[in-house]
Amino acid sequence: MTMTMATTMTRAIPISAVLLVASFSAAQQPDVRVHLLSRYRLSEVQIKPSAGETVILTLNSSRQNLTGEATVRAQKSSVEISGTTSAKLTLNGHFRIVSEQAPVQHIHGELEISARDGVLSMVAAIPVEPYVADVLEGETAGEMPAEALKALAVAIRSYTTRFRERHKEEGFDFCDTTHCQYLRLDPRAAVVSAVNQTAGELLWDRGNPLAAYYHKDCGGRTEAAAVVWPDQASPSLVSHDDRYCIRAAQPWRSEIARADLDRSLAAAGLQVPPGWNHIVVTDRTPAGRARTLLLTTGAAQPGTPISASTLRFAVGRSLGWNKLKSDWYEVVAEGDHFIFNGKGVGHGVGLCQTGAREMAREGKSYREILAFYYPGAAIGRSAQAIPWTIAHAERFDLRVVNAGDSALVRPSANSALDWAIERSGLSLGTRPIIEVYPTVAMFRDATGEPGWVAASTRKDSVRLQPPNVLGERLEAVLRHEFLHLLVESNARRDTPLWFREGLVVYLGGDPPSADEASMSAEEIERAIRSRHSDAEVRQAYAQAAAIVRDLDRQYGREPLKQWLRSGLPVEIPAATLRGHKTAH
């Protein structure tokens, strides 16, 4: 991974000669890659462009317009369309995927189609917010009060962010079934509104996106995540009574023939005792759900232990998910059938949709709903509730999550600060805070910077990627950030941005080279602020540094420092900047 030093006082911008690219915010995540129609094993589909729409087809590196219907077929590990075969094809536009065996899919964007063993694989690239809406539609069909929809939208977005790339090895992020998150394309207006009103908001657990599980009905008590998924333990995912769900929860009863259970277990690859006729719940979770079962030939006989979740998944895949709606039940044998009397639907962890619906009907806001089901979790668009530990050095404070990072950063920070003060001739007006993030992901989520940005500075805080990631570049990165702190702490509010940024680049040494074509001060300022074009921004920084260099040669370092504090004087005519040509 290429790292670059970067910063402004509001958002970091990389300025090294290695790379200079505009940054993006934490809310602007990459598209979610979703495996569509994953449970149907289709070998042929029809592509039907929407009325009046032209679909762009990319096949064997060539692009062409698809204006009419076309059939895509799997040919072993290749796909064929209109007589042409390729390892994969990409479609971009508004169109439908139609098959006799599966529901119609309305696509608005990019779809990649490949094949394996004669089965088509269709992966859609869906922007995060539309994906959240598609999942919210799949979960609710819009049939929840507005505040409950908003709460679930935040949970879905958090889950998506936490578990992105779940199927990375298979070439996509999520499938479109309940194994990941069930979705329906083309959500209705109420769903889209709920997503828009909470856009970008996530639940945070100690600086990381919360594993915000959700389910249909907890039956009156939620389950702790640590019971179901031991590696997902969190103080925001604990078991507690749900007084809202219990008012609306409906008990369920299911009767399953032993022969059907035999077939379901066999299909799941599980071996059971010959002639077994009893199911005994031998262990329950603290919340009351069955955890371990014993399949025996009699109440006092040894048998085969099996987890309750294993039985539920085996039955669900074979007989349907409504047969065993949860693991919260009592079970008795009646002849060659088993009777399950239970309550709740789903695993019971996190947000209960039944309870959330009742809370919204009582006038609770979506934030109150989230606080009830995810106690202690922070809500925000950037990383929240980071468990900082503060260490005080002589001239700065260190905020770290990993205690060992303090010892790594402190000597480099002292050396870098000495260098920056000597290089600039400036003094700090504030006590710096250095925030050392334990992971690249947490740095990205908290600062809004992409992972290749090494550090950023905001006000009096330097925000730093993990020292083990920066390695030998740690001190160079800190030098750059301290230059920014020194310049900004001495700058007057109306000192031009181009001058401040150019001074930092120039003082840092080895500024990026500038082209002969000059930019006016106004153009430099506009390019730095807008960052529409990488090349334009790179040129703007180079021009700003070159102007500062020439002013230093003409007037000396002391006037530069004075202008930083008081603003550029009128005797520096605009023409000096507007018509400036860089010296070579």
pLDDT along the chain (584 residues), means of 10: 36 33 45 93 94 89 90 94 92 94 93 95 95 96 95 97 89 88 91 96 95 96 95 96 91 95 92 87 96 84 86 92 95 94 96 97 98 96 91 93 93 96 91 94 87 87 94 94 94 89 88 63 82 76 88 90 87 52 40
Q: How far apart are CA 95 and CA 109, in angstroms?
A: 9
* DSSP symbol at 55: E
Do residues 134 and 242 both lie within one domain? yes
Number of domains in the chain: 5
In a domain, 308, yes or no: yes
Do residues 302 and 200 both lie within one domain? no
3-state secondary structure of 502: helix
Non-local (6+) Cβ contacts of 182 within 8 A are 135, 138, 139, 176
Q: How far apart are CA 565 and CA 574, in angstroms?
A: 19
Q: How far apart are CA 410 and CA 250, in angstroms?
A: 59
Do residues 273 and 327 both lie within one domain? yes
In a domain, 324, yes or no: yes
Sheet holding 378-380, edge to edge: 208-209, 202-205, 378-380
Do residues 44 and 120 both lie within one domain? yes
Q: Which tokens go with 61?
A: 């590196």
- 413, containing H or E segment: helix 403-424
Determine phi and psi for 130, rounding to 5 degrees: -60, -35
Residue 204's beta-bridge partner residues?
209, 378
In a domain, 44, yes or no: yes
Residue with tokens 């010959």: 274
In a domain, 413, yes or no: yes
What is the per-residue pLDDT for 294? Answer: 92
Do residues 327 and 256 both lie within one domain? yes
What is the per-residue pLDDT for 4? Answer: 36
In a domain, 75, yes or no: yes
What is the per-residue pLDDT for 584? Answer: 35
Alpha carbon 534 to chain centroid, angstroms: 25
CATH number of the domain bearing residue 417? 3.40.30.160
Query: Do 97 and 89 contact (CB within 8 A), yes or no?
Result: no
CB-count exposure of residue 426 (10 Å: 0-12, 13-18, 19+) = buried
Nearest-CA neighbor of 49 among 71, 68, 73?
A: 68
Residue with tokens 């022969």: 259
Do residues 456 and 369 both lie within one domain? no
Do residues 435 and 456 both lie within one domain? yes
Determine phi and psi for 448, rounding to 5 degrees: 80, 5
Q: What single-letter amino acid sits at 371? A: A
Non-local (6+) Cβ contacts of 41 within 8 A are 119
Do residues 138 and 243 both lie within one domain? yes
**Rounded alpha-carbon distances, angstroms, from residue 508 to 3, 15, 384, 474:** 17, 10, 33, 15
Q: What single-letter amino acid sits at 193? A: S
Q: Which domain holds residue 53?
A: 34-126
Do residues 431 and 331 both lie within one domain? no
Domain boundary among 417, 445, 476: 476
Do residues 168 and 68 both lie within one domain? no
In a domain, 485, yes or no: no
Q: How far apart are CA 381 and CA 399, in angstroms?
A: 21
Cβ-based neighbour number of residue 60 at 10 Å: 10
pTM: 0.81
3-state secondary structure of 534: helix
Quote the Cα angle for 22-26-28, to 5°. Answer: 75
Q: Write the DSSP string, 175-222.
A: ESSTTS----SS--HHHHHHHHHTTT-EEEETTEE----EESB-TTB-
In a domain, 12, yes or no: no
First to last CA, the chain: 32
Domain boundary among 446, 476, 506: 476
Cβ-based neighbour number of residue 530 at 10 Å: 12
In a domain, 21, yes or no: no
Q: How far apart are CA 135 and CA 177, in angstroms?
A: 10
Q: What single-letter amino acid sits at 495? A: T
Domain boundary among 447, 476, 505: 476
Do residues 243 and 319 both lie within one domain? no
Q: How far apart are CA 429 and CA 166, in angstroms?
A: 47
Beta 455-458 vs 119-126: how paired, if at all? unpaired
Do residues 431 and 544 both lie within one domain? no
